[in-house]
Structure 1
């Protein structure tokens, strides 16, 4: 059986009445029960038409007068030529019109920066790097030759003034007789006459203070116990020392004996006034220094042993340490010799220069006898120079 026969098993019923007009068409439009269904059509949605996009420009901002009623109207820049580069030096007035900075636009919230405040702006006249008014060159001295002539003239004036001052000083020194050689000669001669012009207490003070003169920097104090009468030099030195001092002669010999605060040590100090001139004294000092005559144990001065004093037993065998100094600024030979006050003998005397050294182990050094001789001799010489200085001064 065909498909159509299965779909319509019953044949359509014939009708004798004709269908009215339009009925056929309506029957065709009506769906059949056995016909497939058509999908339902949804009604179309109606959307409003999209308007065409247009590019519009924003309206211009209101003028400054509208935003700020009190603000002055903007100035219209003059049509003047402007520069695109920064000037390195200022333009003088009148050379060309200065470029005016256009005002900031109306829409800018802040004014444009001032170019004069920029680091690239030229320095104003009168700033550092520019010559000050007082540094301007003087007319007529601008050329090198003129400046050389000016400097030469100034140097010549300075030389003339210097020569005049030197000449005046030399003339005054020659008229007054206060030149160096004459002053030295007068001091040398004045020192040679101290033995009969100055009291003994001024040459040998009754008490001498020796701050730091003892071993290890200890203080010392000496008291004078005897003064020898002024005599010649006979019997005052060992024979070899007397022979060494003979070239300068002997005008007068002054001696005094001192003891320390404990009366344990005794020291004789002497001043030999010679008859020599400055050259002879300088030669004697050089010989003592070169031949080391002041360190020989056979060239010692003798002590002055005064009876009834702690130095009564102070003889040649009791000499423990000594020093001899030849002065060159005065005709004087100063010396000192020390020993024990109990009269003990000393086998090997020692120079004071060796006894005052640190670490010396000899008996005189351990007892401080080198310090006694050196310290007392130094202070007597210092007192002698203080006495000579006022004697050589001339009244004004």
Structure 2
């Protein structure tokens, strides 16, 4: 009887300790490492969770080589998100090798409507995959396919008109750009000809803005209704 009583008391003490430990774990504040992991997971979900207009705002600011800010206006957002169909064949091979999930594209026109820029957000499983893909893909005008939109200033922008391009990684995303002139003149027609140095100056700026917006982490705030800790 005494042995049975001792065993019962032992189980009771063990149960109390286990419950106390569980309560402490469930009610404690998250650690800094847990907050960082949660922030990284939130960034990785943005391409699905955010509306298209938040990823590609209607207007983006840029500096045209002066101190005066100008605005690039969105001509449209492409409905296709296929990795292979949104980039050239060589780039598609690299993206697929590193686990590309989707490519989101939108096209912008500069304030004077003389230059159009297609921006592509390539989605990867994690930052390491995006980093490795960036190492293999240079900033090339032909890496990303142009997205034209009938009835807009970007109506004539096709793959043959691509003259400038960039690549920038932001978190688990690789942001590619390709740009040309809104009249649709082929790149071969202007090859070797002198052009203004700042003609495509907005191209890396638009890519950087979108990459930075998508990849900037927002650490969870347990006092905010937007987060559940």
Length-normalised TM-score, structure 2? 0.74
2 CA distance for matches of 1:271 and 1:340?
21
* Match 2:37 to one of 168, 182, 185: 185
2 CA distance for matches of 1:374 and 1:362?
21
1 CA distance for matches of 2:36 and 2:133?
18
Equivalent position SS for 2:187: coil
* Match 1:305 to one of 148, 157, 165: 148
State the partner residue of 1:262: 112
* Structure 1 outlier segments of 4+, above 6 Å: none
| CA-atom RMSD in angstroms | 2.8
Q: Contact 2:174–2:211 at 8 Å: present in 1 too? A: no
What does the per-residue CA deviation read over 1:361-390, in whole Å, with 9 as the maximum and x for residues that have no partner? 9645x163431211111222233245x52x
Equivalent position SS for 2:100: coil
Equivalent position SS for 2:106: strand
State the partner residue of 1:233: 83
Aligned residues: 198
Length-normalised TM-score, structure 1? 0.45
State the partner residue of 2:202: 372
* Match 2:158 to one of 305, 315, 329: 315
Unaligned runs of 5+ in 2: 1-24, 224-229
2 CA distance for matches of 1:279 and 1:185?
15
What does the per-residue CA deviation read over 1:9-57, in whole Å, with 9 as the maximum and x for residues that have no partner? xxxxxxxxxxxxxxxxxxxxxxxxxxxxxxxxxxxxxxxxxxxxxxxxx
The higher-RCO structure (CA 8 Å, 6+ apart) is 2
Q: Contact 1:223–1:261 at 8 Å: present in 2 too? A: yes
Q: Does 1:395 align with 2:222?
A: yes
Work out which of the two has the higher radius of gyration on C-alpha atoms and give 1 or 2: 1
Larger strand proportion, structure 1 or 2?
2
Distance 1:382 1:279, change over 3 A: closer
Equivalent position SS for 2:117: strand
